[in-house]
């Protein structure tokens, strides 16, 4: 008998009223703002209300370098949270919000899957409480004020050819990557070339995720650099008098959303910055609340440990002041086989038949990637645990091969069947994580000091995390780095934008490649968010729809129920 779809499983869940979930984690009822029966926002005063309670153990879930299909990191995060209750521990889960682009594209939603998902499934994946739309509106308000400023005389002397602030939309739409605005009559604005990014790639989204308070968000929005004068001086949102309006648009969005898992474990779902462009982590305010709500706070960082986890450690933890106690590195048989270089996985297409055959030798051949990602966690002084996310087509011999690699490295491992069995399928992982978190020697460390130069930071990440021999800067990137240093941005952390499909900047290089160099083509400054991001390789900030995207299958049935959502 076929396993029900995630949507079918979610509709069978017995959910508690959200007020009960809030009470379970100790949030006072006056700080719970219901959005229907099963979703609520939590007032920011909860940070102060809960501050005297003990701190939970802080666990980040990361992964090996994924295939285009993903390796079940969100499902593992949720499953681990559910499993903690099965071993007598109380956990809160913190994950990112769904973006409509991936939901209607190939990737699907952001709720997890199978019997380890956050619910209500449809609400979470379709707009939730409107935070994505608030970010879109705030971002585009600033864009409108830039063009209005140009039209009204350009008193700040903005160079129309050096405006970095584009517009955003929460839809995959390749036709909007490059546009010309201001066409038409003279009253329609000043013509200039611009474009659209997806909302999850917006600096406003990164600011929402990294702010620690409403006033902090207001200050960060004011520091956004929208472009430069002809003499190279940065122009900010504060100078355009736009930050106040943006803050008002985001003042509800900054409150974390409270949901639950299928097994009624509390889930904080908040902010959704992209994992290959921005820092790829859920919000700091959600963690500052969640850290006082139980025995464990389990959060997730986007893509592999070279991507979201590196940013979690070096960007998010700098802002929050929280120190991780353990990290889970999710691995799957199929991904390790892909890293052998012997199989090709394409998003939206069936898995190659050879990938589904029993072949522990292929797993062993791809295990270099697992070793490197475990090493990337250890670089930061954090204890890793390998979670083997079991798929129905796996063989025990293949799981044994992954366990052998973990044992060789002196790392705990666990086979997890949370997708098919829920929390009870991840109890081995929960026990291993609890042991690892409770023995953490307190040796957490950042990879680089903020006082290092921007080049030093980029080169440290490239060599130590990606295994590169060095970094090659285009002339444009070199000029941009020098300008950022001159403008006082040199002490910001860096957030390297590169492919998520390889440790290198080349998606075709699998495993743990060496001898490669990191090509920095361009560098952008997210001054409000508080990081500089070098762009390496061919990076798209606005995805496009595939021929077989999920949008072609999502519909409403005769009873008004959503179908095709995944």
Q: Would you say the C-alpha torsion 36, 39, 43, 46 has a positive or negative sign?
A: positive
341, two tokens: 């270089």
Q: Are 288 and 320 contacting, i.e. CB atoms less than 8 angstroms apart?
A: yes
- State the Cα angle at 125 between 124 and 127, rounded to 5°: 80
From the list 152, 138, 277, the residue with the least C-alpha distance to 220 is 138
Distance, CA of 114 to CA of 62 (rounded, Å): 19
Distance, CA of 508 to CA of 136 (rounded, Å): 33
Q: What is the pLDDT along the chain (566 residues), one digit of tens a residue?
A: 678 988 899 999 999 999 999 999 999 999 999 999 999 999 999 999 999 999 999 999 999 999 887 889 999 999 999 999 999 999 999 999 999 888 888 778 889 999 999 999 999 999 999 999 999 999 999 999 999 999 999 999 999 999 999 999 999 999 999 999 999 999 999 999 999 999 999 999 999 999 999 999 999 999 999 999 999 999 999 999 999 999 999 999 999 999 999 999 999 999 999 888 899 999 999 999 999 999 999 999 999 999 999 999 999 999 999 999 999 999 999 999 999 988 888 776 788 888 888 999 999 999 999 999 999 999 999 999 999 999 888 999 999 999 999 999 999 999 999 999 999 999 999 999 999 999 866 789 999 999 999 999 999 999 999 999 999 999 999 999 999 999 999 999 999 999 999 999 999 999 999 999 999 999 999 999 999 999 998 888 888 988 888 888 889 989 888 888 88
Distance, CA of 542 to CA of 168 (rounded, Å): 9
CA dihedral 114→119→125→129, nearest 10 degrees, is -170
Distance, CA of 207 to CA of 221 (rounded, Å): 7
For residue 455, CA distances in Å to 276, 315, 480, 485 come to: 20, 17, 11, 10
In this predicted structure, what is the pLDDT of residue 502? 95
Distance, CA of 457 to CA of 469 (rounded, Å): 15
In this predicted structure, what is the pLDDT of residue 1? 64
Out of 3.30.365.10, 3.30.390.10, 3.40.50.300, 1.10.10.10, the CATH code matching 6-129+253-438 is 3.40.50.300
In which element (H, E) is residue 362 found?
Answer: helix 360-378
DSSP calls for 24-76:
HTT--GGGEEESSSS-EEE-TTHHHHTTTSPPPEEEEEEESSPPTT---HHHH
Distance, CA of 49 to CA of 27 (rounded, Å): 8
Q: Which CATH class is domain 133-250?
A: alpha beta
216, two tokens: 């902090």
From the list 64, 66, 72, the residue with the least C-alpha distance to 369 is 64
> Which DSSP category does 13 fall into?
-
Distance, CA of 258 to CA of 27 (rounded, Å): 11
Q: Are 284 and 220 contacting, i.e. CB atoms less than 8 angstroms apart?
A: no
From the list 283, 129, 134, 280, the residue with the least C-alpha distance to 208 is 283
Pairing of strands 470-473, 517-526: parallel
Distance, CA of 247 to CA of 242 (rounded, Å): 9
Helix residue ranges, H only, 224-324: 243-250, 284-290, 310-311, 317-320
Distance, CA of 113 to CA of 361 (rounded, Å): 29
User: Could you state, in order of their start, the residue ranges of all structural domains in the chain?
Assistant: 6-129+253-438, 133-250, 454-536
From the list 325, 329, 322, the residue with the least C-alpha distance to 441 is 325
Count CB-CB contacts under 10 A for residue 37: 12
Pairing of strands 517-526, 531-536: antiparallel
423, two tokens: 């929390």
Distance, CA of 522 to CA of 40 (rounded, Å): 41
- pTM, two decimals, is 0.96
Give the gyration radius of the chain's Cα atoms. Answer: 23
Asked: is 454-536 a CATH 3.10.410.10 domain? The reply is yes
From start to end of 324-483, where are the E strands? 326-331, 384-389, 412-416, 470-473
The three-class DSSP label of residue 213 is coil
The three-class DSSP label of residue 142 is helix
From the list 330, 376, 274, the residue with the least C-alpha distance to 71 is 330
Count CB-CB contacts under 10 A for residue 518: 24
């Amino acid at each position: 008998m076929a396993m029900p779809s995630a949507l079918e499983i979610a509709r069978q869940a017995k959910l508690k009223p959200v007020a009960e979930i809030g009470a379970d984690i100790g949030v006072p009822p006056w700080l719970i703002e219901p959005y229907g029966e099963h979703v609520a926002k939590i007032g920011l005063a909860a940070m102060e209300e809960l501050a005297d309670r003990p701190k939970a153990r802080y666990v980040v879930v990361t992964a090996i370098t994924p295939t285009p299909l993903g390796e079940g990191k969100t499902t593992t995060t949720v499953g681990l949270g559910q499993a903690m209750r099965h071993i007598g521990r109380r956990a809160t889960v913190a994950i990112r919000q769904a973006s409509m682009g991936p939901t209607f594209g190939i990737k699907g939603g952001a709720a997890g899957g199978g019997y380890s998902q956050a619910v209500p499934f449809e609400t979470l994946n379709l707009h939730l409480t409107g935070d994505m739309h608030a970010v879109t509106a705030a971002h585009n308000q600033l864009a409108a004020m830039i063009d209005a400023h140009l039209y009204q005389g350009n008193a700040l002397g903005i160079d129309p050819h050096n405006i970095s602030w584009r517009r955003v939309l929460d839809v995959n739409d390749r036709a909007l990557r490059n546009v010309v605005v201001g066409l038409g009559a003279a009253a329609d604005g000043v013509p200039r070339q611009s474009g659209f990014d997806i909302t999850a790639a917006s600096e406003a989204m990164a600011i929402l995720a990294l702010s620690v308070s409403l006033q902090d968000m207001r200050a960060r929005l004011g520091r956004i650099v929208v472009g430069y004068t002809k003499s190279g001086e940065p122009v900010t949102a504060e100078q355009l008098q736009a930050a106040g309006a943006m803050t008002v648009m985001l003042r509800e969005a900054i409150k974390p959303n409270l949901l639950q898992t299928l097994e009624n474990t509390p889930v904080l779902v908040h902010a959704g910055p992209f994992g290959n462009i921005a820092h790829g982590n859920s919000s700091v305010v959600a963690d500052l609340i969640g850290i006082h709500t139980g025995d464990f706070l389990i959060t997730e960082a986007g893509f592999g440990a070279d991507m979201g986890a590196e940013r979690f450690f070096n960007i998010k933890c700098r802002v929050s002041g929280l120190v991780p106690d353990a990290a889970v590195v999710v691995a799957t048989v199929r991904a390790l086989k892909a890293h052998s270089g012997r199989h090709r996985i394409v998003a939206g297409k069936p898995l190659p038949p050879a990938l589904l055959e029993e072949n522990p030798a292929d797993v062993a051949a791809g295990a270099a990637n697992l070793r490197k990602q475990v090493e990337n966690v250890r670089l930061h002084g954090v204890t890793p645990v390998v979670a083997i996310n079991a798929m129905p087509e796996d063989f025990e011999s293949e799981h044994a091969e992954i366990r052998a690699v973990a044992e060789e490295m002196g790392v705990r491992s666990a086979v997890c069947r949370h997708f098919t069995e829920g929390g009870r399928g991840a109890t081995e992982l929960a026990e291993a994580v609890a042991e690892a978190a409770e023995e953490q020697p307190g040796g957490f460390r950042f990879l680089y000091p903020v006082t290092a130069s921007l080049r030093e930071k980029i080169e440290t990440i490239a060599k130590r995390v990606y295994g590169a021999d060095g970094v090659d800067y285009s002339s444009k990137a070199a000029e941009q780095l020098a300008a950022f240093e001159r403008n006082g941005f040199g002490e910001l952390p860096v957030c390297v934008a590169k492919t998520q499909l390889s440790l290198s900047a080349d998606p075709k290089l699998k495993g743990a490649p060496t001898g490669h160099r990191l090509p920095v083509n361009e560098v952008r400054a997210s001054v409000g968010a508080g990081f500089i991001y070098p762009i390496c390789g061919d990076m798209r900030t606005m995805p496009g729809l595939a021929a077989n995207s999920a949008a072609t299958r999502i519909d409403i049935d005769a009873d008004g129920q959503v179908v095709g959502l995944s």
